[in-house]
Amino acid sequence: DAGITQSPRHKVTETGTPVTLRCHQTENHRYMYWYRQDPGHGLRLIHYSYGVKDTDKGEVSDGYSVSRSKTEDFLLTLESATSSQTSVYFCAISESTLRRDYGYTFGSGTRLTVV
């Protein structure tokens, strides 16, 4: 199995608090992504990274920030959690955008509930 782990697996937090989710990979892949999954919407890209300290926004980035200080770690922070951010968050990795089969490998997900 690809070495990608997410932590925590489940979290309940209060509205207005900051929350950080962690994605850790042991594959030395350059590209890392954060998606959120909500019923009826599939997976939507929040932020992505194309290298250490190189990140960019996806389609639903408002209210989120990311950091990547090491190849293996990609952190997603909800700056001030809101109920609309209750979702399942998935991290994904890919070896290269030149690999045209685009076989992303996903982590097991973090189920976040904001109350």
Partner 1 sequence: GQSLEQPSEVTAVEGAIVQINCTYQTSGFYGLSWYQQHDGGAPTFLSYNALDGLEETGRFSSFLSRSDSYGYLLLQELQMKDSASYFCAFVTTDSWGKLQFGAGTQVVVTP
Do residues 19 and 110 touch, judged by C-beta distance below 8 A? no
Contacting residue, 21, 31, 78, 114, with partner 1 by CB under 8 A: 31
Binding to partner 1 in span 78-97, by CB under 8 A:
90, 92, 94, 97
What is the bridge-based pairing of β-strands 54-57 and 4-7? Answer: unpaired
Rounded distance, CA 5 to CA 48, Å? 16
Contacting residue, 14, 53, 83, 100, with partner 1 by CB under 8 A: 100
Closer residue to partner 1 (CB): 41 or 70:
41
Q: Using the rule CB under 8 A, is 109 a contact of partner 1?
A: yes
Rounded distance, CA 76 to CA 65, Å? 6
CB atoms within 10 A of CB 33: 22
Encoded one letter per residue, x for contact with partner 1 by CB under 8 A and - for no contact, window 42-81 reads xxxx--x-x-----x-xx----------------------
Residue 7's contacts (CB-CB under 8 Å, 6 or more residues apart) are: 21, 22, 24, 110
What residues make contact with partner 1 under the rule CB under 8 A?
31, 33, 35, 40-45, 48, 50, 56, 58-59, 90, 92, 94, 97, 100-109
